[in-house]
Amino acid sequence: MPRAWYAFTNVAADPLLASSYKRVTLSPSCLNGPTICAINAEFFGAQPEVGSAPFSPLSKNIQEYIVNGLVNLVPEPDVPEAAKKYVYLKSSIF
């Protein structure tokens, strides 16, 4: 499945809900921290428009990576064999 980057839009929002994210065109420059920065989620059909939310509900894998990232404060998946990270975090709420 094709994937796209989605920025987390509101620190008060539920990070497990697709509606908490908006499509962006650039890869995130954030990496580690206590707050979700962005997710790399699957999309279906044509390339999603900038500002659109990812497919809802988020996949179980992405949800697990989000929870693990918030606990570990590092990009997920945090395993040596995972070259690609799907959840990035940031150090500030801004």
Q: In this structure, which amino acid lies at residue 23?
A: R
Q: How far apart are CA 35 and CA 43, in angstroms?
A: 23
Q: According to the model, what pLDDT value does residue 11 have?
A: 73
Q: Mean pLDDT over residues 38-66, rounded? A: 93
CB 34 within 8 A of CB 52: no
Annotated domain spans of the chain: 3-90
Write out pLDDT tens, residues 4-48. 999 999 878 899 999 999 999 999 999 899 999 999 998 888 888
Write out pLDDT tens, residues 77-86. 988 776 789 9
Q: According to the model, what pLDDT value does residue 94 have?
A: 60
Length of the chain (residues): 94
